[in-house]
Amino acid sequence: MDALEQIYRELQPKIYAYFYIKTSNSAIAEDLTQDVFYEAAKSIHTYRGEAALSTWLFHIANNLLKKHYRKKSYEKSLASKMEAQPSITLFTTEQLIELKDESKRLLSKIEQLGPPFKDIVLLRIIGELSFKEIGELLELSENYVRVNFHRQKIKLQREEELL
Protein backbone atom coordinates (compact mmCIF):
# COMPACT_ATOMS: atom_id res chain seq x y z
CA MET A 1 0.00 0.00 0.00
CA ASP A 2 1.50 3.33 -0.97
CA ALA A 3 1.78 6.29 1.42
CA LEU A 4 -1.08 8.25 -0.15
CA GLU A 5 -3.51 5.37 0.22
CA GLN A 6 -2.42 4.82 3.83
CA ILE A 7 -2.97 8.50 4.67
CA TYR A 8 -6.41 8.36 3.04
CA ARG A 9 -7.41 5.21 4.95
CA GLU A 10 -6.26 6.73 8.25
CA LEU A 11 -7.75 10.22 7.92
CA GLN A 12 -10.87 9.76 5.78
CA PRO A 13 -13.03 8.29 8.61
CA LYS A 14 -12.01 11.07 10.99
CA ILE A 15 -12.74 13.82 8.49
CA TYR A 16 -16.05 12.16 7.56
CA ALA A 17 -17.04 11.93 11.25
CA TYR A 18 -16.14 15.60 11.74
CA PHE A 19 -18.36 16.62 8.82
CA TYR A 20 -21.19 14.30 9.86
CA ILE A 21 -21.30 15.72 13.37
CA LYS A 22 -21.19 19.27 12.03
CA THR A 23 -23.89 18.75 9.36
CA SER A 24 -25.99 15.77 10.54
CA ASN A 25 -26.23 14.64 6.94
CA SER A 26 -24.30 11.62 5.66
CA ALA A 27 -24.53 12.66 1.98
CA ILE A 28 -23.16 16.13 2.69
CA ALA A 29 -20.46 14.65 4.94
CA GLU A 30 -19.41 12.24 2.18
CA ASP A 31 -19.32 15.02 -0.42
CA LEU A 32 -17.34 17.36 1.80
CA THR A 33 -14.92 14.58 2.73
CA GLN A 34 -14.22 13.86 -0.91
CA ASP A 35 -13.83 17.59 -1.55
CA VAL A 36 -11.16 17.77 1.15
CA PHE A 37 -9.04 15.13 -0.56
CA TYR A 38 -9.69 16.64 -3.99
CA GLU A 39 -8.59 20.09 -2.76
CA ALA A 40 -5.57 18.55 -1.04
CA ALA A 41 -4.50 16.73 -4.19
CA LYS A 42 -5.06 19.87 -6.25
CA SER A 43 -3.02 22.07 -3.93
CA ILE A 44 -0.44 19.64 -2.50
CA HIS A 45 2.28 21.94 -3.82
CA THR A 46 1.23 24.53 -1.19
CA TYR A 47 1.80 22.11 1.70
CA ARG A 48 5.03 23.31 3.31
CA GLY A 49 5.28 20.67 6.03
CA GLU A 50 5.17 23.26 8.84
CA ALA A 51 2.23 21.41 10.42
CA ALA A 52 1.22 17.78 10.41
CA LEU A 53 -0.56 16.58 7.29
CA SER A 54 -3.67 15.84 9.37
CA THR A 55 -3.71 19.46 10.59
CA TRP A 56 -3.42 20.69 7.00
CA LEU A 57 -6.28 18.42 5.90
CA PHE A 58 -8.48 19.52 8.81
CA HIS A 59 -7.68 23.13 7.91
CA ILE A 60 -8.97 22.42 4.39
CA ALA A 61 -11.99 20.66 5.93
CA ASN A 62 -12.73 23.61 8.18
CA ASN A 63 -12.52 26.05 5.24
CA LEU A 64 -14.79 23.86 3.10
CA LEU A 65 -17.30 23.63 5.92
CA LYS A 66 -17.36 27.41 6.31
CA LYS A 67 -17.81 27.75 2.55
CA HIS A 68 -20.62 25.19 2.67
CA TYR A 69 -22.41 27.08 5.46
CA ARG A 70 -22.12 30.38 3.64
CA LYS A 71 -23.39 28.87 0.40
CA LYS A 72 -26.28 26.88 1.85
CA SER A 73 -27.11 29.07 4.90
CA TYR A 74 -27.16 26.03 7.17
CA GLU A 75 -25.94 27.78 10.30
CA LYS A 76 -29.48 28.58 11.50
CA SER A 77 -30.77 25.05 11.06
CA LEU A 78 -27.67 23.21 12.32
CA ALA A 79 -28.85 22.97 15.94
CA SER A 80 -32.20 21.47 14.98
CA LYS A 81 -30.56 18.95 12.66
CA MET A 82 -28.23 17.74 15.42
CA GLU A 83 -31.23 16.84 17.59
CA ALA A 84 -32.36 14.28 15.02
CA GLN A 85 -31.53 10.62 15.52
CA PRO A 86 -28.22 9.45 14.02
CA SER A 87 -28.50 8.13 10.49
CA ILE A 88 -28.40 4.34 10.11
CA THR A 89 -25.87 4.74 7.30
CA LEU A 90 -23.27 5.96 9.81
CA PHE A 91 -23.56 2.95 12.14
CA THR A 92 -24.04 -0.76 11.62
CA THR A 93 -27.11 -2.38 13.15
CA GLU A 94 -24.98 -3.90 15.90
CA GLN A 95 -23.44 -0.52 16.73
CA LEU A 96 -26.87 1.11 16.91
CA ILE A 97 -28.03 -1.56 19.35
CA GLU A 98 -24.93 -1.02 21.49
CA LEU A 99 -25.22 2.76 21.43
CA LYS A 100 -26.27 3.82 24.89
CA ASP A 101 -28.39 6.76 25.95
CA GLU A 102 -25.33 8.21 27.67
CA SER A 103 -23.54 8.58 24.33
CA LYS A 104 -26.53 10.28 22.78
CA ARG A 105 -26.78 12.70 25.69
CA LEU A 106 -23.08 13.46 25.50
CA LEU A 107 -23.25 14.25 21.77
CA SER A 108 -26.24 16.46 22.46
CA LYS A 109 -24.36 18.28 25.23
CA ILE A 110 -21.32 18.76 22.98
CA GLU A 111 -23.58 20.22 20.28
CA GLN A 112 -24.84 22.79 22.80
CA LEU A 113 -21.35 24.11 23.52
CA GLY A 114 -20.73 27.54 22.07
CA PRO A 115 -18.02 28.44 19.61
CA PRO A 116 -15.09 27.79 19.68
CA PHE A 117 -15.55 25.23 22.45
CA LYS A 118 -17.59 22.80 20.36
CA ASP A 119 -14.93 22.83 17.64
CA ILE A 120 -12.15 22.31 20.20
CA VAL A 121 -13.92 19.30 21.70
CA LEU A 122 -14.82 17.77 18.32
CA LEU A 123 -11.36 18.24 16.81
CA ARG A 124 -9.77 16.73 19.91
CA ILE A 125 -12.14 13.75 20.21
CA ILE A 126 -13.14 13.02 16.60
CA GLY A 127 -10.16 14.45 14.76
CA GLU A 128 -7.69 13.23 17.39
CA LEU A 129 -5.65 16.39 16.83
CA SER A 130 -3.17 17.68 19.39
CA PHE A 131 -3.86 20.88 21.28
CA LYS A 132 -1.15 22.57 19.23
CA GLU A 133 -2.73 21.44 15.95
CA ILE A 134 -6.19 22.58 17.07
CA GLY A 135 -4.75 25.94 18.09
CA GLU A 136 -3.14 26.37 14.68
CA LEU A 137 -6.34 25.35 12.92
CA LEU A 138 -8.61 27.67 14.90
CA GLU A 139 -6.00 30.43 15.22
CA LEU A 140 -5.94 30.16 19.01
CA SER A 141 -3.04 29.60 21.39
CA GLU A 142 -2.19 26.03 22.35
CA ASN A 143 -2.66 26.91 26.02
CA TYR A 144 -6.12 28.42 25.38
CA VAL A 145 -7.17 25.26 23.56
CA ARG A 146 -5.77 22.98 26.27
CA VAL A 147 -7.35 24.88 29.17
CA ASN A 148 -10.74 25.25 27.50
CA PHE A 149 -10.86 21.61 26.40
CA HIS A 150 -10.34 20.53 30.00
CA ARG A 151 -12.89 23.07 31.29
CA GLN A 152 -15.49 21.83 28.81
CA LYS A 153 -14.71 18.23 29.69
CA ILE A 154 -15.23 18.95 33.38
CA LYS A 155 -18.41 20.89 32.60
CA LEU A 156 -19.79 17.96 30.59
CA GLN A 157 -18.87 15.50 33.35
CA ARG A 158 -20.61 17.59 35.99
CA GLU A 159 -23.75 17.94 33.87
CA GLU A 160 -23.78 14.18 33.35
CA GLU A 161 -23.53 13.63 37.13
CA LEU A 162 -26.55 15.88 37.69
CA LEU A 163 -28.74 13.79 35.41
Instruction: Tell me the mean pLDDT in the region 80-101.
Output: 54
Q: Where are the domains of the chain?
A: 1-98, 100-163
Give dist(CA 128, CA 110) in Å, integer: 16
Give me the pLDDT at residue 29, please. 92
Hey, what CATH topology would domain 1-98 get?
A: Rna Polymerase Sigma Factor; Chain: A (1.10.1740)
CATH of 100-163 given 3.40.50.620, 3.40.50.300, 3.20.20.150, 1.10.10.10: 1.10.10.10
Instruction: Tell me the mean pLDDT in the region 16-26.
Output: 89
Contact 91, 99 (CB under 8 A): yes
- Would you place residue 101 in the very low, low, confident or very high pLDDT band (cuts 50, 70, 90)? low
Share of the chain above pLDDT 90, in %: 17
Instruction: Tell me the mean pLDDT in the region 52-76.
Output: 80
Share of the chain above pLDDT 70, in %: 76
149-158 per-position pLDDT tens digit: 998 888 888 8
